[in-house]
Amino acid sequence: MFKVKIRPHWEISVDANPALDTDVLLQLLQALQEHASIITAARDAGLSYRYAWGLLREAEALFGEPLLETRRGRGTTLTPLAQKMVWADRRIAARLSPTLESLASELEGELGKARARDHGGAPPTLRMDASHGYAVAALMGYMDRMAVPVELRYRTSTDAVMALARNDCDLAGFHVPQGSFEARAAQGYLRWLDPARHALVHLAGREQGLLVASGNPLAVTALADLTRSSLRFVNRQAGSGTRMLLEMMLEDASIDPEAIHGWNSAELTHSAVAAYIASGMADVGIGMRAAAEQFKLGFIPLVHERYMFAVRTATLEDGTLDGLLAALREPGYQQLVAALPGYDATRTGEVEALRDAFPD
């Protein structure tokens, strides 16, 4: 089974000078940010101390200013320019990861089909459309190890469910909040699902809330704070389940979205929202606790939700999903999910009828 990885790659040039490949430099700067020691950072990046110093001097000569500051008692720290480079790389990775992972999965599928034509049959590939999330990413890794072929397309929850209704995928990942917003949120998905033809497979429970800078220096406590003119908000894209949830909560609280500075901004993943805040480009956003933990941010909980896959009952009955269900029910995978901040694996792998999940 083929495994393809596509990563962002960027270069920097100044005036007419040759472009600097940032790959190794960024690894070194990220290690320096963590360890504040060139010796330790070079070792972590797999570089010799001499090569690391040479690379830093080459970059500083190109930029015309230093990348490091050395102060007694604080070790070696990054200058503002170096910090901007590190955070730019993190934002690029967080923003592009769904697109690149979807393209890689598509390429894996095409390579697998070509090989099957030359070497005989191959096991059927599951077509998964899902909104981006940490449990989905962990599931893909687990299914790779179990050699279960999956073609993944990251897209909004609404688009995923619509694709399932058109038979364009086998699994549609979406999420609904628990509690007072559940019925309203579910209505948007149930219009595309038929209780006679579709069922649900539970992936995980998870927690959503407001993401703020570490220590919450601006004292954000609730949704009403988003209307403060001094706060810069970063939003999710229109049509995403998280954006729709926020719109419902604002409507319930009688808060005008247009009064929020940054309402019309749009990031494609929870990680991208977190990276945006961690880099100092925004003060608050909405996302998962896991994203806050990943970027060392503060988190104000708002709601628990269920993430699940909508599937056709026919694919449950014909064995097409047996490999997926086996992966979901593996104790090892459930332990991975339970270890994610804000996640709950209590119902992971359960199959449920639509009428039982949403009796109203």
Confidence of residue 118 (pLDDT cuts 50, 70, 90): low
User: Which tokens is 319 given?
Assistant: 């064995």
Q: How many CB atoms lie within 10 A of CB 252?
A: 12
- The pLDDT tens digits for 332-348 are 999 999 999 999 999 99
- The pLDDT tens digits for 25-39 are 999 999 998 888 889
Among 254, 184, 198, smallest CA distance to 226 is for 254
Number of domains in the chain: 2
In a domain, residue 8? The reply is no
- Residues 66, 99, single domain; the answer is no
What was the pLDDT predicted at 287? 96
- pTM for this prediction: 0.82
In the chain, the percentage of residues whose pLDDT exceeds 90 is 64
What is the C-alpha to C-alpha distance for residues 334 and 216, in angstroms, rounded to an integer?
32
Domain end call among 36, 54, 78: 78
- Residues 226, 330, single domain; the answer is yes
What was the pLDDT predicted at 119? 57
Q: Residue 95 belongs to a domain with what CATH number?
A: 3.40.190.290
In a domain, residue 171? The reply is yes
The DSSP H or E segment spanning 129 is strand 126-130
- Residues 100, 152, single domain; the answer is yes
What was the pLDDT predicted at 122? 58
Average pLDDT of the residues in 123-148? 87
Average pLDDT of the residues in 99-114? 76
pLDDT, mean over the chain: 90
By mean pLDDT, which of 108-117, 140-149, 219-228, 323-332 is the weakest? 108-117
By mean pLDDT, which of 53-57, 87-91, 193-197 is the weakest? 87-91
By mean pLDDT, which of 77-86, 109-118, 149-158 is the weakest? 109-118
- Residues 211, 170, single domain; the answer is yes
Domain end call among 22, 44, 78: 78
Which residues face 343 on adjacent strands?
206
Average pLDDT of the residues in 300-316? 96
Domain end call among 49, 78, 107: 78
Average pLDDT of the residues in 47-73? 89
Pair 112, 4: CB distance under 8 Å: no
In a domain, residue 267? The reply is yes
Contacts of 105 (CB under 8 A, 6+ apart): 4, 140, 150, 151, 152, 153
Residue 78 above 80 pLDDT?
yes
**Residue 47, domain extent:** 13-78
- Residues 131, 229, single domain; the answer is yes
Highest-confidence range of 11-25, 80-94, 162-176, by mean pLDDT?
162-176
What was the pLDDT predicted at 123? 63
Among 227, 230, 224, 262, smallest CA distance to 243 is for 262
The CA angle 299-301-307, to the nearest 5 degrees, is: 110
In a domain, residue 29? The reply is yes
- Residues 312, 210, single domain; the answer is yes
In the chain, the percentage of residues whose pLDDT exceeds 70 is 96
User: Which tokens is 179 given?
Assistant: 């509690």
Q: Which residue has the higher pLDDT, 322 or 120?
A: 322
- The pLDDT tens digits for 215-260 are 999 999 999 999 999 999 999 998 899 999 999 999 999 999 999 9
Q: Residue 19 belongs to a domain with what CATH number?
A: 1.10.10.10
In a domain, residue 83? The reply is no
